[in-house]
Amino acid sequence: MDPVTLAVGGGLVLLGYLGGLLSRRKRTPEPPLTADCGCGHSLALHDPEAGTCHAQLERMTAHNKYAGTSYEQSQCPCRQYVGPRPIEEFLAPRYLPPA
Ligand SMILES: [Zn+2]
Ligand SMILES: [Zn+2]
């Protein structure tokens, strides 16, 4: 095998590897750079004092062929709790209740 064939072969392997990386990245989108709360909204939408989420949720309330689809705006029920926790929660492991 001459060096040119080796180089082409190596390049093809590299291309395949990069293509695999790209397609894999497409399947699993990268996480957003902003920190998100468990409710899925950005932490910036949360009240730093109360921890309540200010994001508006759209809830479908009705859907029929006469009235169409109507939505109801409601506030996200999340209450991001960032205050101090009871120390027991850190020390005592949580056991499942006996079945
Ligand atoms: Zn939240
Ligand atoms: Zn939220």
Which residues have their alpha-adjacent CB atom under 5 A from ion ligand 2?
39, 41, 53, 55, 76, 78
How far is residue 78's CA from residue 85's CA, in Å, rounded to a whole number?
A: 17
The 8-class DSSP code of residue 83 comes to S
Centroid of ligand 2 to alpha carbon of 54 (angstroms):
7
Kindly indicate the confidence band of residue 53, based on its pLDDT and cuts at 50, 70 and 90: very high
Q: What's the pTM value of the predicted model, to 2 decimals?
A: 0.41
- pLDDT band, residue 67 (cuts 50/70/90): confident
Calculate what percentage of the chain has a pLDDT beyond 90.
Answer: 10
The per-residue DSSP string of 7-41 comes to: HHHHHHHHHHHHHHHHHHHHHSPPPPSS-B-TTSS
For residue range 25-51, list pLDDT tens digits in order. 666 666 556 678 889 898 889 988 888
